[in-house]
Structure 1
Amino acid sequence: MPLYKEFDLMKDKRILYVSSEVIPYLPETELSSTAFNVAKYAHSKGVQTRIFMPRFGVINERRHQLHEVIRLSGMNLIIDDMDMPLIIKVASIPKERMQVYFIDNDEYFKRKAIYTDEDDKLFDDNDERMIFFAKGVVETVKKLNWAPDIIHVHGWMASLLPLYLKEFYREEPLFSESKIVTSLYSNEFPGELNPKLIDKVKFDKIDNDTVSHLQTPNQENILRNAILNSDAIIKGSSDFSEDLEQFISESGVTVLDYQSEEYLTEAYLDFYKESVLELQDS
């Protein structure tokens, strides 16, 4: 049984958790439960936490007491030369005193489904939903003027955030000291996203070489792009393909191997403290 140190050095650090899924708002999965449990544990140890997720239409706003934050809503985000209104809603996780911010837009998130239609086919605009979510998180955190020490990304819907922070928002001083951690999960979706994803990302004047992996936007290539734009990664699942394991090994990125549910909350916080916050800016 591993021994973990006290986490006093993490007290009052700021961690921004950005996840495709979080319980209790969506069904329990490896992704949704890990994102919640890690944030909850960090919060209990005195870490300042904020959680961001998409406001999927399947989330019951009345039951979970979501309400719009007018002072944060109202801006438009440019997605592939289209103006898309950003709506921000917020809720508190019962008993935890943890705030969750929801990125919303009627065009992208009102539908009563998460990633796929009634035929289990990926939505054609999932690529735009990813870009909107990434930009929406950054613009909202800028409005909050809340500079995170660590930004921890979970799930493929959130996985363009490292790229946008490193490229599109690279001159934004609020994030100049932030370290980006991405948790990788296996088998999140089969097939490919819209092949125009790469063009829509390049519309934001992001260099072609930086997004080359998105030429074929399948699960593994999206993860490869996130790895290359992260300061550290965590294996959130126990198994990945041999090709992806080799890519991780050759990337040179700091890695925390898969942790069983029994130990992961302590291991993640220890990883933040001992590895991530000690990383030097490249």
Structure 2
Amino acid sequence: MKILMISAEVFPFAKTGGLADAVAALAKALSEMGHDVKIVMPRYYKIDRKTVFLLKKGVCICTGQQEVAVDFYCARLEKSAVEVYFVDYEKCFGREGLYGNSFEPDYHDNPFRFSLLARAAFSLCTETGWIPDIMHSHDWSSCMVPVLLKQCMRTENSPFKNTKSVLTIHNMGYQGRYPSGAFSLLGLPQEQFRAAGFEQYGCIN
């Protein structure tokens, strides 16, 4: 089975808590069981480009409002056959901290940053011709993946028409709650604000 995991953090490349450890351990375990497992995550500025391999350069991704060009890098998860792919886009990920910093603990553009990660995951698959059977999202920062799969990508002529999705919530205490105005950053039609289950007490979650 082909399994693509999407996560904001993966040990040892980037870590703020147990999520990074859990994703790495699960990927290794599934790989050892014989599954073809890959991981997609951001290339934060602390991940030196010299330590990873450039896979694709200047891949255009439509965010719903604009097109941005990202690079894809690749490395192997230590002591495993699992490949880890990095989405390199300086405007979103070339800054201190994974979700925020000491001045802005929760970056105001996180909805855009992590929706870009989700869209990049689909672009990576089409660019490499590797289409997963399952796309496994981890925590709120990658929860746009199952939404995009259901609402946009699972069409009759799409290579993802048979792809399924899983969302694992590792810590319910961390939720992607933002003002309703941030919904426009996701690049989805406005009717999806409620139809796709984003609305919670007038905000997006």
Distance 1:194 1:116, change over 3 A: farther
Q: 2:4 is matched with which residue? A: 16
Tell me how far 1:25 sits from its aligned partner.
0.7
SS in 1 for 2:87: strand
| Match for residue 68 of structure 1 among 54, 65, 68 | 54
Contact 1:58–1:114 (CA under 8 A) maintained in structure 2: no
Tell me how far 1:131 sits from its aligned partner.
1.5
Q: Which moved more, 1:20-29 or 1:106-115?
A: 20-29
Q: 1:216 is matched with which residue? A: 203
| 1:15 maps to amino acid | I
Which has more strand, going by share of residues? 2
| 2:40 maps to amino acid | F
The alignment's TM-score, normalised by the length of structure 2, stands at 0.87
Instruction: Please give the per-residue CA displacement for 1:93-137, whole angstroms capped at 9, x wherever unaligned.
Output: 222132100112011011122111223521111111121111100
Q: Are positions 1:185 and 2:170 aligned together?
A: yes
Distance (Å, rounded) in 2 between the aligned partners of 1:204 and 1:20? 21
| Match for residue 162 of structure 1 among 126, 146, 156 | 146
The alignment's TM-score, normalised by the length of structure 1, stands at 0.65
Tell me how far 1:144 sits from its aligned partner.
1.5
| Match for residue 86 of structure 1 among 56, 63, 70 | 70
Q: Are positions 1:197 and 2:185 aligned together?
A: no
Distance (Å, rounded) in 2 between the aligned partners of 1:89 and 1:97? 16
Distance 1:95 1:186, change over 3 A: closer
Q: Percentage identity across aligned positions?
A: 22
| Match for residue 52 of structure 1 among 40, 46, 52 | 40
Q: 1:36 is matched with which residue? A: 24
Tell me how far 1:187 sits from its aligned partner.
4.7
Contact 1:152–1:180 (CA under 8 A) maintained in structure 2: yes
Tell me how far 1:186 sits from its aligned partner.
2.2
Distance (Å, rounded) in 1 between the aligned partners of 2:152 and 2:92? 21
Contact 2:58–2:70 (CA under 8 A) maintained in structure 1: yes
Distance (Å, rounded) in 2 between the aligned partners of 1:28 and 1:125? 19
Distance 1:28 1:105, change over 3 A: closer
Give me the CA root mean square deviation.
Answer: 2.2
Distance 1:133 1:200, change over 3 A: same
| 2:44 maps to amino acid | F
How many residues get paired?
201
Distance (Å, rounded) in 2 between the aligned partners of 1:102 and 1:205? 28
Q: 2:159 is matched with which residue? A: 174
Q: Are positions 1:127 and 2:114 aligned together?
A: no
Q: Are positions 1:25 and 2:25 aligned together?
A: no
Distance (Å, rounded) in 1 between the aligned partners of 2:197 and 2:139? 20
Instruction: Please give the per-residue CA displacement for 1:151-192, whole angstroms capped at 9, x wherever unaligned.
Output: 111122111111011112122522222221110122554783
Distance 1:67 1:191, change over 3 A: closer
Q: Are positions 1:144 and 2:128 aligned together?
A: yes
Contact 2:184–2:190 (CA under 8 A) maintained in structure 1: no
Larger radius of gyration, structure 1 or 2?
1
Tell me how far 1:67 sits from its aligned partner.
2.2
